[in-house]
Amino acid sequence: MPTISGFDNLILNTDTYKHCHHTLYPQGTEYVSSYVESRGGIFPATMFVGLQAYIQERLLRPITLADIDEAEAVTRAQGMPFCRENWMGILNDHGGFLPVEIEAVPEGTVLPTRNVLVQVINTDPKYHWVTSFFETALLRAVWYPTTIGTVSWMCKQIIKEAFARTSDNPDLLRFQLHDYGARGVSSQESAALGGLAHLVNFNQSDTVPGILAAMKYYNAVCPANSGPNSEHAGFTAWGRDQEVDALRNMMNTYRDAGVVLLLTDSYDHENAVKNILGKELKAEIENFPGVVCARPDSGDPVQVTADTAEWLMDAFGYEVNSKGFKVLPRYLRVVQGDGITLDTLSEIYMELERRGMAAENAIFGMGGGLLQHFNRDTLNFGQKCNAVRVNGEWRDVAKQPTGASFKVSKAGRLALVKRDGEYRTVRRDSVSPEENLLQPVYRNGKLLKKWDFSELIERSEAEVPEEYYYPVIEQMRAQDSAAVPA
């Protein structure tokens, strides 16, 4: 049995069957071009992010002789042929770096689905097969963070709509959705990629791998905020009869932190809010030098969020803002981190609005509903060959399956343009290089462009047509608000 070094061997970061594909191209094939796109799905648009992390982590390290030896042993053990000559050629001709060029949309860009996001081509005719060889890893590196970034971006549009309808404080937008997803995601790498994608849209996270990834791959400076939160172990250890002491202890311990999140559902959530927070600890909460947050962690997320806000208003009072909606005192908020999804998020805001309460009364944490409830088919991501050059002659390439029209692929080398405010994927030879928005980001082992995290944020917050996100706010728009304000 071979000694397995780990998961950093680029030759093994693929599907086994890729090792037999180099012989399947026509004789005389010199160049193979392929592209990545979202072929549609549950959203009309995507926020592109994550490719830069993959390039830095995987493509700037050359393959070695040891990698080739290991890959050969593993691949042949599976009954698959292994062309050692191909990889020895890459090692000797290109220092072990993949001889490909990758061009992509600037990260953070929000654009409609069914547009080219990434395009790849080999740079050495001898290794035309390499374009598709690393499809498995490249596609995974693009679809996951882009899908999660898009989910987060759509959540932001929901929150933005709610604030526009009921709040006077749109400047709070980036602080309203916290990433709680680290424990609910499938791996640390997923937490890192999904976590950094979320941080393009919001400043709040407890997912440490995502924070590290934003700093490591995009030079992010302080990309996330958090604050003292609680878990049931620390509160239930005091016992039911001393729940008030457990809550008071946290307030006293983190008095100087500026914020504390108090779990209120260890036993009886309604009692904790109405009697412990609203009576026994009322004076201490009113005099707390910061914000106290009541955090229910069970029950129906729509009703429990609105109920909690109302109970707190009954005990602590409220103000009425310029739009006629009730707002808790500045030192008090509800934090709902259980059961939050795109659907429940909009439903909660609609319920708050229906009861005459402003959007800012509640802050949210999102876990599996942010980082885990999605797959490649959510936005129908695919990488397909679009052109080849054989014996000096370029050929358009496309698939046209009769059984799935959305899988019909684009033919010819591609470019992305923006005309009259609309993104369009066109043939590369139909536009000038200056008009093409795809930018070379990698070539032959070199990173050609490194986007700063601030640039991603700026692009993600650029104004876009309402049609990009209307499906996620449509129900909110349909809600009758005439009888809502207090």
| Secondary element (H or E) of residue 204 | strand 204-205
183 assigned ligand-binding residue = yes
What is the C-alpha to C-alpha distance for residues 424 and 418, in angstroms, rounded to an integer?
Answer: 6
- Phi and psi torsions of 121, nearest 5°: -150, 145
297 assigned ligand-binding residue = yes
295 assigned ligand-binding residue = yes
Query: What tokens were used for 322?
Result: 């310029």
Contact 48, 391 (CB under 8 A): no
Region of residue 304 (left: phi > 0; alpha: psi -120 to 50; beta: else): alpha
140 assigned ligand-binding residue = no
278 assigned ligand-binding residue = no
| Residue 475 vs residues 1, 400, 437, 467: alpha-carbon distances, Å | 58, 36, 34, 14
Q: Which stretches within 263-300 are classed as H helix?
A: 269-271, 282-286
174 assigned ligand-binding residue = no
Beta strands 29-38 and 116-122, pairing class: antiparallel
95 assigned ligand-binding residue = no
227 assigned ligand-binding residue = no
The identity of residue 240, as a single letter, is: R
The identity of residue 104, as a single letter, is: A
Residue 239 makes CB contacts below 8 A (sequence gap 6+) with none
What is the C-alpha to C-alpha distance for residues 235 and 240, in angstroms, rounded to an integer?
Answer: 9
Residues 180, 184, 186: CA angle, nearest 5 degrees: 130
Extract long-range pairs of 417-422: CB within 8 Å, 24+ residues apart. 421/465
Region of residue 345 (left: phi > 0; alpha: psi -120 to 50; beta: else): alpha
- The DSSP bridge partners found for residue 383 are 36
Q: Which residues of 175-201 are buried (b: 16+ CB within 10 A; e: fewer)?
A: ebbbbbbbebbeeebbbbbbbbbbbbb
Contact 402, 386 (CB under 8 A): no
Which residues are annotated as part of the binding site for beta-nicotinamide D-ribonucleotide?
A: 206, 295-297, 337-338, 368, 376
Q: Which residues are annotated as a binding site for diphosphate?
A: 183, 232, 295
Q: Which residues are annotated as a binding site?
A: 183, 206, 232, 295-297, 337-338, 368, 376
